[in-house]
Structure 1
Amino acid sequence: MTADTPETKPRSRGRRALRIGLLVLALLVLGTAGAGWWAYHRLDSNLASVDLDAAIGDNRPPKVVPGARNILVIGSDSRAGANAELDHGQVSGARSDTAMLVHIPEGRARATAVSIPRDTLVTRPECKDADGATVRSANRVMFNSVYSLAGPACVVKTVEQMSGVRVDHFVEVDFAGFKGLVDALGGVTVTLDKPMSGAKGSLKLDAGTHRLNGEQSLRFVRTRYGYGDGSDLGRIGLQQQFMMALLAELKKQDALSNPARLYKLADAGTKSLTTDSGLGSLSALAEFAQSVQGVDPSTMETIMLPVAYDRIDPNRVVVAEPQATQLWEAVRKDEKIPASAKDSPAKAG
């Protein structure tokens, strides 16, 4: 045994311990990367998408302001299964209960949401349904019937035809998944200036501030009777109010500091979404979300498409002119919407 042997063993043990530590660290990194890949793959596979260009074709409005973005957001209702009790029985087919065209101007500092009443009588253009079959054009059809007959691409085409606004992206939120997202957030807070009576199975709430869970939130956005005049126009106000509260809640929660909570939110959110192919991946959604993070929900302007009661069927509404033309022109040109364009002859009481 040489004089330097005692020194060799500690050094060897030290190197061996270092190698073991590096191996453990490598395994941890690989394990984390594997978990990250699994989580990404799962979230990415939750998403469904529609190729709007292929479904609609080239006959679309031109893009006037390249930096601005227009996103059509639709809340769909299967009217079956878990949602049936919210609509007083089974109704076949799926419908778009909520439709908002969200305009984000160039610069991404603010946003405007234009709600389209579901009972609006519109001209449906010729479309292709999900199976590729031709759906003929028709006049004086209810806006929310377009989705059930021909699918989301035809809804986009209808909105583009009636507005002259190019829809850049499409997002459909399934109501069943919507409940899961609210529950993953731990609820959403809303404030009512008058009570909600609970008529015809709707939510019953006193005037004041309330923290709503997923099922309560779904009943809130679908409430028609028991609040205001019981019309669809009154429901739009509740939907817009809830959308602002939901966005504020998402912005307030520091999910990035809690990976488990972030994953739970992302899982619930992606399960409820169908998008256009441009947003049809987790990376594309994340990139888009990053680009609009400067938009403050508290400053978002919410407007109802100006409508008037139909002279033939007072239970339906028609687009009011010249207000609607002024509104859509401002959106197309990325300009401030004039007060005259916000005046709707048909208003909720």
Structure 2
Amino acid sequence: MSAESTPGHRGRGRRRTTRDKRHRGLKAAAWTAAGIVVLGGTGAGYLCFRLNGNIASVDIDQVLGTDRPEKADNGSENVLVLGSDTRSGGNEELGGGADDGTARSDTAMIVHVHEGHKKASVVSLPRDTVVDRPECTDTDGGTHPAASGVMFNSAYATGGAACAVKTVESITDLRMDHYLEVDFTGFRKIVDELGGVEVTTGEDIDDPDSHLKLEAGTHRLDGEQALGLVRTRHGVGDGSDLGRIQLQQAFVRALVRQVGEIGVFTDPEKLYGLADTATKAVTTDSGLGSVNSLMSFANGLKNITPANMRMITLPVRYDPANGNRVLVEEARARQVWTALKNDKPIFKGATEGTATGEARGVVTS
């Protein structure tokens, strides 16, 4: 599918003035997940002092106001995790574009943390999904009119983080309790700080567009290779964004596994290096915009393992009018959103018969 370059900007936030930060979630693609698990549960006071100033945050609650879905009262939480391909701040080479301020949400995931924080359900949102974007206000106070039949990633390109959250809440009727964003450069540095991530590919991958060439087998990917993997689509499956999402989900599992194996929690020097890198790499909502709040949130996620993560793609079908777009399978999607709203497991049949991209199994770990 073609990547649409829509003029926009990255949601701006103020940088906190003390030094620290922590990673969260699962991201990308999914990438963020590992960062937060890694930094969770440490409680080291000196991190809060040294790293707080790294954090960039966006006050999404203030921008969106009260016209939003109600917060869940069942102990669960929803986090919107975005991987952005902003062309500024050193990302030009990695993004393949000019430093013109444009940006898109290259990867999007809703991470639903179930009550008890021992399990998570992750729903990937294809960036080429055709949606109705609601009217939204960006973090600079600019208002953007509603638009029908546009690509999902146009929300971020149009109005930044706040507009992306508003659009997701409109589609799902789920309250996004938190927001977390990582750009290309940040993702690459986090993987390098971890010492690379080991994956096994079931077939050769050769995608000139993402600059990735791997023979079938087991590889330890450095940051640049990992970025190539989560952006690859032409070298696997049917060449669609759906196939790329399957690679991203497999990589997230490998990333979370890597975090658990390298002894971050018992090595203060390694922990600090990763914390410093991760806190510079992400943008959060203001609710996670301090080290204390990030670490408190992450502390509850450290017991989530790959085996306790259910990862799916939003049920979609190819758009008959445009093979480069997908349409939401509304009935099946409602099953997904209802399950998350009620903090229940996602029905296994919710994605049966929907478009997949045909790349599952290319990366197995």
After TM superposition, the score normalised by the length of structure 1 is 0.86
Name the CA shift for 1:46/1:87 in 2 (closer, same or farther; >3 Å).
closer
Please list, as runs of the form range in 1=range in 2, the aligned pairs for 1:165-180 lying within 5 A after superposition.
165-180=174-189
Deviations 1:78-100 (A, max 9, x none): 13564334444437401110000
Give the one of 203, 206, 224 matched to 2:212. 203
Give the one of 115, 120, 134 matched to 2:129. 120
Q: CA deviation at 1:65?
A: 3.7
Q: CA deviation at 1:128?
A: 0.8
Please list, as runs of the form range in 1=range in 2, the aligned pairs for 1:256-295 lying within 5 A after superposition.
256-295=265-304
Which consecutive residues of structure 1, in runs of 5 or more, have no partner in the other structure? 1-35
Give the one of 21, 29, 41 matched to 2:49. 41
Give the one of 44, 56, 68 matched to 1:60. 68
Letter in 1 for 2:291: L
Name the CA shift for 1:224/1:41 in 2 (closer, same or farther; >3 Å).
same
Counterpart-to-counterpart distance in 2, 1:177 and 1:81: 10
Counterpart-to-counterpart distance in 1, 2:91 and 2:342: 39
Aligned-residue CA RMSD in angstroms? 1.7
The total of aligned residue pairs comes to 314
**Is the 2:58–2:285 contact (alpha carbons within 8 Å) kept by the matching residues of 1?**
yes
Structure 2 residue aligned with 1:97: 106
Structure 1 residue aligned with 2:83: 75
Name the CA shift for 1:211/1:325 in 2 (closer, same or farther; >3 Å).
same
Most deviating of 335-344 and 178-187: 335-344
Give the one of 181, 189, 214 matched to 2:198. 189
1:134 and 2:143 aligned:
yes
**Is the 2:237–2:357 contact (alpha carbons within 8 Å) kept by the matching residues of 1?**
yes
**Is the 1:64–1:332 contact (alpha carbons within 8 Å) kept by the matching residues of 2?**
yes
Quick one: percent identity of the two aligned structures? 50
Deviations 1:57-78 (A, max 9, x none): 1111113443001111101111
Which has the larger share of helix? 1
After TM superposition, the score normalised by the length of structure 2 is 0.82
Counterpart-to-counterpart distance in 1, 2:140 and 2:76: 32
Please list, as runs of the form range in 1=range in 2, the aligned pairs for 1:246-265 lying within 5 A after superposition.
246-265=255-274
Counterpart-to-counterpart distance in 1, 2:155 and 2:166: 10
Counterpart-to-counterpart distance in 2, 1:67 and 1:132: 32
Most deviating of 53-62 and 37-46: 37-46
Give the one of 149, 163, 167 matched to 2:158. 149
Q: CA deviation at 1:344?
A: 5.0
Which protein has the larger Cα radius of gyration, Structure 1 or Structure 2? 1
Find the residue that maps to 1:314 and give its secondary structure.
Answer: strand
